[in-house]
Amino acid sequence: MNQIPADANQVIDQLSAQIGTLTKQIAILTSQLNAAMKLIPADVLESVKGDENAED
């Protein structure tokens, strides 16, 4: 874990960079999830839709 600098501007800069990185990661994961969902047959999706406790 990075050491937190004492200067507020440095803290803001570091947080901004981390937010930018997280935003990119979320975009990548969302894209991957959308691609994966397209590979699941519609009837399978319908069978588990609304089933919060589906384990298999």
CA distances from 43 to 31, 49, 51 (A): 22, 10, 14
Kindly state the average pLDDT of the residues 8-17.
92
Amino acid sitting at position 40? I
Poorest-confidence range of 13-17, 36-40, 48-52? 48-52
Query: Which domain, by its residues, includes 29?
Result: 6-48
Q: Give residue 32's pLDDT band: very low, low, confident or very high (50, 70, 90).
A: very high
pTM: 0.63
Q: What local confidence, expressed as pLDDT, does residue 29 receive?
A: 98
Q: Within a domain: residue 25?
A: yes
SS3 label, residue 49: coil
Q: Within a domain: residue 16?
A: yes
Q: Within a domain: residue 56?
A: no
Distance CA 22, CA 4 (A): 18
Residue among 25, 24, 28, 3 nearest 14 (CA): 3
Domains of the chain: total: 1
Q: Within a domain: residue 12?
A: yes
Q: Greater confidence, 33 or 44?
A: 33
